[in-house]
Amino acid sequence: MSEPLQRPARLILWGWGTIYNRLLDKLRYFCAVGEIEIVAITGTTVPPYDTLDGYPVVRPDEIPGLEYDYIMVISLKGEKQIIARALTIPGVRREQIFPHRAVEQPYFSFREYFRLKESGLTIISNHCWGGMASNTLGIMNRSPFKNLYLLEEEYLRVLADLEHYCREAVPVFSRWKTGREKEERVFPVLRLDDVDLYCNHVKSADEAIAQWMDRRGRMAWESLFVEFYTESREMEAAFAALEQYPRKVCFVPFEPAFPCSIQIPITGQSRYFYEAVLGSVDSNNLGFPFSLMRLLLGEEPVARGAGKGRRPGA
């Protein structure tokens, strides 16, 4: 983990098309308030100018000669290919690259974003929310809880003794399970001591075990954020009682009873509550009922709405 920057972050923008035009005024604002400095614009195809909007235009192979902190990928498609190309450039590290979608979320701040990005954030989640939040923000997912889900009671058991389950217990293959509803896809279930890990985004048990063991070694224990979703008031209360986690959230479909809880309404195309919760951090949706970065940083204000569904104390 790096120390937070005490000066404007120096950015190289990789891309100059539709999204660049859409974000230009926002980027210029953050330059004006001293959060960032744009040192160059580049692209897989380079703009046919020496400067664009006053910013120097460079070829990708000229990047090693620049002083910069981050590379922001601005592209409607081909993000993976751009990242792969950038990583062939001497000196470029994966953690320096982030996607434009992070900037497009409401209440965005580069200063807060880079503080979060450099914190080693590790999201503990009982379903796919943590992975989706990390993807939306373009932040490395350090959590062994990616690509799986747990039953509520067993998840709370894990949280009560997280160090045992994430440092001592070793997962083993238990059985195969068929996906939700009419899905014909099957996926492995791992047994971790006395709880089950439902690895519904992984095809093989060996892959699931390898991912768990690898990611548990990346966890930043000093930078944990714990997420839970439930439709049970009893479970909401049990989660709220876990005082060892200062940064946490419980998503519920009803009026929250605790400061750590946020109500998520079932709206739009969501049929089930879990779909609404996942939609709250979907990068294609961006319908956040809360400020995602402030939530993850443990800062207020978090909730965007007032009245029904607001977070108590927000």
When pLDDT is cut at 50, 70 and 90, the band that residue 178 belongs to is confident
Whether 179 and 289 map to the same domain: the answer is no
Residues 247-254: what's their mean pLDDT?
96
Whether residue 156 is found in the same domain as residue 93: no
Looking at the predicted structure, is the pLDDT value of residue 312 above 60?
A: no
98 in Cβ contact with 14 (< 8 Å) = no
* Cis peptide leading into residue 188 (ω within 30°): no
Shared domain check, 209 and 260: no
- pLDDT exceeds cutoff 70 at 183: no
- Is 60 found in the same domain as 79? yes
Q: What is the pLDDT of residue 286?
A: 54
138/258 same-domain check: yes
Query: Which one of 190, 215, 240 terminates a domain?
Result: 215
CATH number for the domain that contains residue 91: 3.40.50.720
pLDDT, residue 282, reads 83
pLDDT (tens digit, 9 = 90+) per residue, 199-233? 999 999 999 999 999 999 999 999 999 999 999 99
77: its two tokens: 């498609």
Q: Is residue 21 part of a domain?
A: yes
**How many separate domains does the chain show?**
3
Q: Which pLDDT score, from 0 to 100, does residue 129 have?
A: 95
State the burial class of residue 270 (Cβ atoms within 10 Å of its Cβ: 0-12, 13-18, 19+). middle
Q: With cut-offs at 50, 70 and 90, classify the pLDDT of residue 184.
A: low
Closest C-alpha among 132, 195, 118, 127 to residue 160: 195
Beta-bridge mates of residue 252:
263
> What number is the average pLDDT over the span 257-278?
87
pLDDT in tens, 90-119: 999 999 999 999 998 888 999 999 999 999
Same domain, 223 and 134: yes
Share of the chain above pLDDT 70, in %: 92
Give the per-residue pLDDT at 149: 96
Q: Is 55's pLDDT higher than 90?
A: yes
pLDDT at 194 over 90: yes
pLDDT in tens, 128-146: 999 999 999 999 999 999 9
| Residue of 9 and 106 predicted with greater confidence | 9
Instruction: Write the secondary structure of 150-204 as one string of H (helix), E (strand) and C (coil).
Output: CCHHHHHHHHHCHHHHHHHCCCEEEEEEECCCCCCCEEEEEEECCEEEECCCCCC
Q: Confirm whether 124 is domain-assigned.
A: yes
Confidence of residue 306 (pLDDT cuts 50, 70, 90): low
Whether residue 3 lies inside any domain: the answer is no
Average pLDDT over residues 162-186: 87
Domain check: are 270 and 131 in the same one? yes
Share of the chain above pLDDT 90, in %: 79
Same domain, 88 and 193: no
Q: For all residues of the chain together, what is the average pLDDT?
A: 91
Question: What is the reported pLDDT for 1?
Answer: 55
Which of the residue ranges 99-113, 116-130, 232-246, 288-302 would you say has the lowest mean pLDDT?
A: 288-302
Q: List C-alpha distances in Å: 47 to 188, 189, 204.
A: 48, 50, 45
Provide the pLDDT confidence category of residue 304 given band limits of 50, 70 and 90: confident
Structural domain for 262, as ranges: 109-143+219-314
Judge contact between 314 and 303, C-beta under 8 A: yes
- Say whether pLDDT at 310 is over 60: no
Q: How far is CA 195 from CA 151, 152, 157, in A?
A: 9, 11, 8
Band of residue 121 on the pLDDT scale cut at 50, 70, 90: very high
Residue 27 in domain: yes
Q: Would 309 be classed as within a structural domain?
A: yes
Same domain for 254 and 181? no
pLDDT value, residue 302: 79
- State the pLDDT at residue 263: 92
Which residues have a Cβ under 8 Å from the Cβ of 40 and sit 6 or more positions away? Answer: 12, 13, 55, 56, 57, 58, 62, 63, 66, 68
pLDDT confidence of residue 295: 93
Q: What is the mean pLDDT of residues 54-71?
A: 98
End-to-end alpha carbon distance in the chain: 30
Last residue of some domain: 104, 134, 166?
A: 104
Integer Cα distance of 145 and 283 in angstroms: 20
- At which residue do the structure tokens 């200062």 appear? 246
* 166 and 299, same domain (yes or no): no
One domain, residues 133 and 237: yes
135 and 199 belong to one structural domain? no
More reliable by pLDDT, 202 or 270 = 202
